[in-house]
Structure 1
Amino acid sequence: MEKIPELLVTPTEVANVKPLIDVGATALMIGEEKFGLRLAGEFNKEDINETVKIAHENDVKVYVAVNAIFHNDKLPLLPDYLSFLQEVGVDAAVFGDPGVLMIAKESAPNLPLFWNTETTATNWYTANYWGRKGATRAVLAKELNMDAVIEIKENAKLAIEIQVHGMSCMFQSKRTLLGNYMEFQGRDLKVEGKSKDRSLFLHDPEREAKYPIWEDKNGTHIMSPKDMCMIDELDELMDAGIDSFKIDGVLKTSEYLIEVTKLYREAIDLYLKEPDAYGDQKEDFFTRLKKVQPENRGLDTGFFFKETVY
């Protein structure tokens, strides 16, 4: 095993950056709500600049999410923002809207771009199409099984990123569904201050499932009732040469992220050094991770080994 996959983590705040680097993160995904979807933390321009400085001092990369659903009124904000990202040395901007790519070519031509539409990155033809347009990485949809992920990697002409840990988005609407419902009921729920409110859930008593839900500037988000966990299934993905493994920290504490990152770093390094030893310790890695997992969040393998988890 020669290729070392990137371990990409989403910090919750600037204070979380160095501790994550210290336990083995080799790349960080950050951004601000105005431009990016479902971020673990809010990073304004000053925070982005500070994060880049800390990360680059430690040979760690920084990517910024610019993958919101943009309407006409937001487009004038993009040239200055993308220029800023290029100026401070961000290692890539993550986009889903082709408009971001077009504006970046004019305003930040030297800014690397990663393609991530959240849901439609499901085949290697489309990934390679965006590669020809200028993207250097494709972030695959979470709804793919293992065989599809490996097939895409075998045929892709650009780097491939997948999520290996954390919750998944089940549904998003640009509408403020919670606020509209509360208003209809004669109750008050202001979106401001409710972003990623940890106390809001949709409860399905029949399945005994609780779905985290929140509203922010990008609308309403409903998340999966369990967290994806692939710490004991990394071998096939590493053999396939997947370029980046992402740990998503949305709705997670800094302490949790540090412990999970530490475990994935250990698992990846062990497989690189002694594949057989990793195989022997798979169950132990999963057991150790489960100990830090919140009681209300079960673990599963997402769509990797079955067609649906919701």
Structure 2
Amino acid sequence: MKKPELLVTPTCVDDIKPLIDAGADAFIIGEQRFGLRLAGEFDREAVKEAIHIAHEHGKKVYVAMNALFHNDKVEDIEDYMKFLNTVKPDAIVFGDPAVLMIAREFACDIKLHWNTETTATNWYACNYWGRKGAKRAVLARELNMDAIIETKENAEVEIEVQVHGMTCMFQSKRSLVGNYFEYQGKVMEIQNKKYQKNMFLHDKERNNKYPIFEDENGTHIMSPNDICIIDELGEMIDAGIDSFKIDGVLKSPEYIVEVTKKYRLAIDTYIEDQDRYDDIKEELVEEIEAIQPPNRPLDTGFFFKETVY
């Protein structure tokens, strides 16, 4: 039985070593300018250092270039691709075909992972991009378990699935928070608010708080709950899913480390002794619930139902 990769999203270079010790196999990092909804900002020097640390410990680093690129950013893709070709990450995560075409143009030999966040909903799409050069497809968060398994059975590429963390429900290219404060005549408050982690859209009718995450790619409204599938990993491991992702957006480094430890234990235990996994999986859920923020309950996302929110 193949052991899936445990993929995590560090907030800074200092997180890499603790996450390796916690059991992470791979990391997604990058700059806001090129990647969507990153847990932390990694400039070029930080990318280089993160790759060095990870490779020194036999781990992998994937650099996010899955932003929505307009014409004014296309030239920047070329320059950034040249930089990545010198530091050699293990893969580039892309969504826009421009990244794929520029990688071909420069004979870039770095692996490509296709991730558009929402449109990887069937194996035909995964295989289409696989035949264009992608080695992995990152499935949409809106798929249920049956669809995930069916896709893996028919995919010609590696399959990555998010198993923990929040999901994006809405994205606008505009800085909605900044525009709101400007409209109120509170321009000075924009910089104070924009990158805080405690901004919420309140839904009084459902008694929900939707986190607001802003970066260079615009405004992102996130789910009010966190996905947690630590007690439902077996079927996906049996199916051969290649990578399980823990998304650390708007989470503390300490939280990401603790969750990584628990998923490492869950994966290893299932591989070694499925009965033992069945014995401890509820306890693992309870341990994660104990460190959850009070306003962020756990749920199983779309894994077992069509819609959640």
TMscore range, shorter length: over 0.9
TM-score w.r.t. structure 1 length? Answer: 0.97
Letter in 2 for 1:244: S
Which residue is 1:49 aligned to? 48
1:11 aligns with 2:10: yes
What is the CA–CA distance in structure 2 between the aligned matches of 1:214 and 1:239, rounded to whole Å? Answer: 35
Which residue is 2:97 aligned to? 98
Which residue is 1:295 aligned to? 294
Cα displacement (A) at 1:309: 1.4
Alignment of 1:1-310 (within 5 A): 2-188=1-187, 192=191, 194-310=193-309
Cα displacement (A) at 1:290: 1.0
Paired residue secondary structure (2:271): helix
Asked if the contact 1:179/1:189 (under 8 Å) is kept, the reply is: no
Asked if the contact 2:178/2:194 (under 8 Å) is kept, the reply is: no
Letter in 2 for 1:262: K
In structure 2, the CA distance between the partners of 1:214 and 1:194, relative to structure 1 (3 Å rule), is farther
What is the CA–CA distance in structure 1 between the aligned matches of 2:169 and 2:244, rounded to whole Å? Answer: 20
Letter in 2 for 1:216: D
What is the CA–CA distance in structure 1 between the aligned matches of 2:63 and 2:237, rounded to whole Å? Answer: 25
Cα displacement (A) at 1:61: 0.3
- CA RMSD, Structure 1 to Structure 2 (Å): 1.2
Letter in 1 for 2:300: T
Structure 1 segments unaligned to the other structure (5+ residues): none
Paired residue secondary structure (1:278): helix
Cα displacement (A) at 1:247: 0.3
What is the CA–CA distance in structure 1 between the aligned matches of 2:215 and 2:193, rounded to whole Å? Answer: 7
In structure 2, the CA distance between the partners of 1:154 and 1:296, relative to structure 1 (3 Å rule), is same
Paired residue secondary structure (2:135): strand
Asked if the contact 1:9/1:261 (under 8 Å) is kept, the reply is: yes
Asked if the contact 2:177/2:194 (under 8 Å) is kept, the reply is: no
Structure 2 segments unaligned to the other structure (5+ residues): none
Cα displacement (A) at 1:275: 0.6
Greater Cα shift, 210-219 or 67-76: 210-219
Asked if the contact 1:80/1:107 (under 8 Å) is kept, the reply is: no
Which deviations, in whole Å up to 9, do the C-alpha atoms of 1:229-280 show, x marking residues without a partner?
0001101111111000000000000100110000000010000000111012
Cα displacement (A) at 1:154: 0.3
Q: Sequence identity, in percent?
A: 65
What is the CA–CA distance in structure 2 between the aligned matches of 1:179 and 1:237, rounded to whole Å? Answer: 41
Cα displacement (A) at 1:194: 4.5
In structure 2, the CA distance between the partners of 1:37 and 1:141, relative to structure 1 (3 Å rule), is same
Cα displacement (A) at 1:215: 2.3
Greater Cα shift, 195-204 or 112-121: 195-204
Cα displacement (A) at 1:214: 2.8
Cα displacement (A) at 1:10: 0.3
